[in-house]
Structure 1
Amino acid sequence: MAVAVLSGILVLVVGGCVCVVWAARGGPRWVRGVAAVTLAVGELVRGAKSSGRSSGGQDDSSD
């Protein structure tokens, strides 16, 4: 069951990326809509990923 869910997510991600490239080349209106949604979800994921980091942790640089 987990393989089916992950496969479905993978298909959605790849399809969204294809729509982004197609929209950049001047695709139809629905492709531009899917591309906009894909980019918005990507920004949300990026924001959630960066806000999940703790500022009190150690960094990689050692002096």
Structure 2
Amino acid sequence: MLVLILAVVVLLVIGGCACVYWEARGDAPRWARVVAKATLLGSEFARSASRTSRSRRSSMGDD
């Protein structure tokens, strides 16, 4: 079951990256632009969460 969930997540990530590439070329339909925007927002969220986690660890002296 866990492998199935991981496979779905990987496929969603690959699809999101493909939509970002397609949108960057400039000829993507509206739905692909929405998916690309969601993918980029998700990556920004993950990046900010990672920064917050790192800053908490360094302020606690766990480095």
Taking structure 2 as the reference length, the TM-score comes to 0.85
CA RMSD after TM alignment: 1.3
Which structure has the greater CA radius of gyration? 1
Cα distance in structure 2, aligned partners of 1:6 and 1:29 = 27
Cα distance in structure 1, aligned partners of 2:44 and 2:3 = 26
Percent identity, aligned pairs only, is 49
Q: CA deviation at 1:29?
A: 1.0
Cα distance in structure 2, aligned partners of 1:3 and 1:45 = 22
Runs of 4+ in structure 1 off by over 4 angstroms are none
Bigger helix share: 2
CA offsets 1:1-34 (integer angstroms, 9 cap, x no match): 0100000000000000000000011211111110
Cα distance in structure 2, aligned partners of 1:11 and 1:4 = 11
**Which segments of 5 or more consecutive residues in structure 2 lack a partner in the other structure?**
none
**Which segments of 5 or more consecutive residues in structure 1 lack a partner in the other structure?**
none
